[in-house]
Structure 1
Amino acid sequence: MKPLIIIESPSNLGLKESAQGKEPGVSRLPQHLKKHGLYDKLNPAQIIHLAAPPYSSQLDEASGVLNAYKIVEYAKAQAQELKRVLATDSFPVVIGGDCSILIGNALALKELGNYGLMYLDGHTDFVLPSMSQTGGAAGMDLAIVTGHGHHKLTNIHQLEPYFEEENVWCIGNRYWDPEYVGLIQSSQIEYVPLSHLREMGIDTLLSLFFMHIEAKKWDGFWIHLDVDVLDHKVMPAVDSPQQGGMSYDELRELLIPLMAHPKVAGIQLTILDPTLDPYGIYAQRLIDNLVKILSPIFREVKDHDEIMRF
């Protein structure tokens, strides 16, 4: 049995201002999900709050990335915390924040061994600073953790890349600009856009992924879940909404078997902006589905408790 530990990583440093002088609201995500019942339903063994540096919108000229220095410092702190949690053989649920929190988690996993990444996102986030319209690391995080971009971000502690390209599966993109998808298509990342996922079927994808885990002899794998992978009709409270997306049924079909796999190391959740969900309507539906998605862990806890009674 693995105790479930929530790590709050409420950084919004990877996003541009949502309006002139207004910082992005994703830093409020942990408290938003707590308010609407996620923590009560998960009943974590521990809650860790890792305070992020204050938001700014400063472009680092050397890297071409907003808030690069602060992001690196926060990534180092994240890595230390995640390594500590994993050393206790616990299951971390990391709640962002924006997608730039992947950098610190990836750094920790690289220091611990050979890990893979299941990247579920409505975008690839695999672009270089020169291609970015915002300079936000949240739109470049997959590129950064696979060694693309300025060494200030890609080579912390001289550990570039944090994930090998062939150890990454990028699932669910639905932004089809040829230049945007061209870079990831030319990489060794297993790229499965939403249209392709529906053609091949989730069961087939999972079978291929599980075979890949064994073939590559991974020590484990990490899950990134950006809620903008969901259909905008069920999850519009994101910074870059667009038409279409996965249903909650599809999300559960994909994630529940991943959670049941013995080599899943943890999951991170990003991008829901509470300022766009003031009454918690979208948070509540997400919470209901997260509890179902994490059910393999709950079943393990329940089974353990039943055994301990006899």
Structure 2
Amino acid sequence: MKKTISVIGVPMDLGQGRRGVDMGPSAIRYAGLKERIQRLGYTVKDQGNINVPTAEAHDIDNDSLKYLPEVVQVSQDLSHKVAEVIAKDHFPIILGGDHSIAIGSIAGLATHHKNLGVIWFDAHADFNTSETSPSGNIHGMPLSCTVGIGHEDLTHINGYAKKVKNEHVVIVGARSVDPEERELLKQHGITCFTMHEIDKMGIAKVMEEAIRIAGEGTDGIHLSLDLDSIDPDMCPGVGTPVLGGVTYREGHLAMEMLYQSGKVVSCDLVEVNPILDEGNKTARTAVDLVCSLLGESVM
């Protein structure tokens, strides 16, 4: 792990339908992110927040791609900021905000990591397009955009599509996938370990496979961690909770294995919604997990 961490906040709520996730970066910071990471021996530089337009100040022009121009602008701005901190040899931790922020974070990473692997820890696949999405919310589309599938304005952040190769993408923890989205995943050969595989194989075997697929022959692994991947008993403060998720302890083992791999180069923490939370429990879980990703251990 690089010894300097850059924290970038993206108070984005334009990509999903429930308000409050824009307060996620503040909630995660309040849960002691900087102090906990510093205790692990890292230097932490908080880069502040990317500017995000207010939803009420803008009209929705396309119900199939809600707030498209605004999401594109935030994605481009975030891409530039991520590229800037990577150029300084820092490890970026990007705080959402809804999961649409991953379009910009991965675009920024791809300016330096030309062959990036991605592990997408999520209850959902986020592989919809404007044609398949039931809602038109862009937070259900970032993974497809990252591999070059979807509206050109979203796929061509920084002027080109396909930031990541399909064979280097792994979804872990999925348990709510739309029917047409499921067909897209199969069509494009995306590896998806659902909760069925985690129950059957165990989280250790799943993570061994995920790290192998995303890590072999790549420049490193980006972890995109949606807190709704964790069961709602530990993460109630998310916009789209789904029962039967990854347990708290399984989540920690997954993060510990990623740290031990030595391959992780960056991380998103997304979909923390303090309005729906219980005493900032979800943000505290996010901090606990990212500390395991950075090497915190019992012994």
Q: Would the TM-score normalized by the shorter structure come out above 0.5?
A: yes
Aligned to 1:253: 253
1:179-237 C-alpha deviation (Å, 9 max, x unpaired): 4422212221111111112222333233333433564x211110000000011222121
Counterpart for residue 40 of structure 1: 35
Q: 1:210 to 1:123 in 2, by over 3 A?
A: closer
Secondary structure of 1:92's counterpart equals strand
Bigger shift: 250-259 or 176-185?
Answer: 176-185
The CA deviation at 1:293 is 3.4
When normalised by structure 1's length, the TM-score is 0.86
Offset of residue 284 of structure 1:
2.9
SS of 2:97 mapped into structure 1: coil
Residue in 1 that maps onto 2:288: 288
Q: 1:228 to 1:257 in 2, by over 3 A?
A: same
Separation of aligned partners in 1, 2:177 and 2:51: 35
Q: Are the equivalent residues in 2 in contact too, given 1:110–1:159 (CA < 8 A)?
A: no
Deviation at 1:40, TM superposition (A): 2.0
State the number of aligned residues: 290
2: CA distance, partners of 1:102 / 1:211: 22
Which structure 2 residues correspond to residues 1-310 of structure 1 after superposition, within 5 A?
1-16=2-17, 18=18, 24-43=19-38, 44-49=43-48, 50-56=50-56, 58-61=59-62, 64-112=64-112, 113-175=114-176, 177-213=178-214, 215=216, 217-277=217-277, 279-295=279-295
Provide the rounded CA distance (Å) in 2 between the counterparts of 1:208 and 1:102. Answer: 23
Identity of aligned residues (%): 27
Structure showing greater Rg: 1
Distance 1:15 1:194 in 2: 24
Secondary structure at 2:174 match in 1: coil
Unpaired segments ≥5 residues, structure 2: none
* Contact residue 77 and residue 104 of structure 1 kept, 8 A: yes
Change (3 A) 1:128 1:289: closer
SS at match of 1:42: helix
Asked if 2 retains the 8 angstrom alpha-carbon contact of 1:103 and 1:144, the reply is yes
Of 158-167 and 111-120, deviating more is 158-167
Contact persistence 1:231–1:244 (CA under 8 A): yes
Partner-residue secondary structure (3-state), 1:45? strand
* Deviation for aligned residue 1:169: 0.4
Structure 1 residues 36, 158: closer, same or farther in 2, change over 3 A?
Answer: closer
Does the aligned pair in 1 maintain the 2:255–2:292 contact within 8 Å? no
Distance 1:71 1:178, change over 3 A: closer
- Contact (CA 8 Å) 1:8, 1:30: kept in 2 or not? yes
* Compared CA separation, residues 232 and 105, structure 1 to 2 (3 A): same
Q: 1:258 to 1:71 in 2, by over 3 A?
A: same
Amino acid at match of 1:47: D
> Is the partner of 2:6 in helix, strand or coil?
strand
Structure 1 portions without partners, runs of 5+: 19-23, 300-310
Counterpart Cα distance in 2 of 1:15 and 1:134:
9
Q: Which amino acid aligns with 1:265?
A: V
CA distance in 2, matches of 1:167, 1:289: 23
User: For residue 171 of structure 1, what is the amino acid of its counterpart?
Assistant: V
The answer as to whether partners of 1:59 and 1:135 remain within 8 angstroms in 2 is no
Structure 1 residue 91, shift from structure 2 partner: 1.3
Which stretch has the larger CA shift, 217-226 or 52-61? 52-61
CA distance in 1, matches of 2:258, 2:95: 18
2:237–2:281 contact (8 Å) kept in structure 1:
no
Secondary structure at 2:131 match in 1: helix
Offset of residue 148 of structure 1: 1.5
| Contact preservation (8 Å) 2:119, 2:214 | no
Could you tell me whether the CA contact under 8 Å between 1:33 and 1:39 is conserved in 2? Answer: no
Contact 1:2 1:89 in 2 (8 A): no
Please give the alpha-carbon distance, in whole angstroms, between the structure 1 residues aligned to 2:28 and 2:177. Answer: 31
CA distance in 1, matches of 2:223, 2:281: 25
Q: Does structure 1 retain, via aligned residues, the 8 Å contact 2:121–2:229?
A: yes
SS at match of 1:59: coil
CA contact (8 A) 2:99 2:140 kept: yes
TM-aligned CA distance change 1:285 to 1:255, over 3 Å: closer
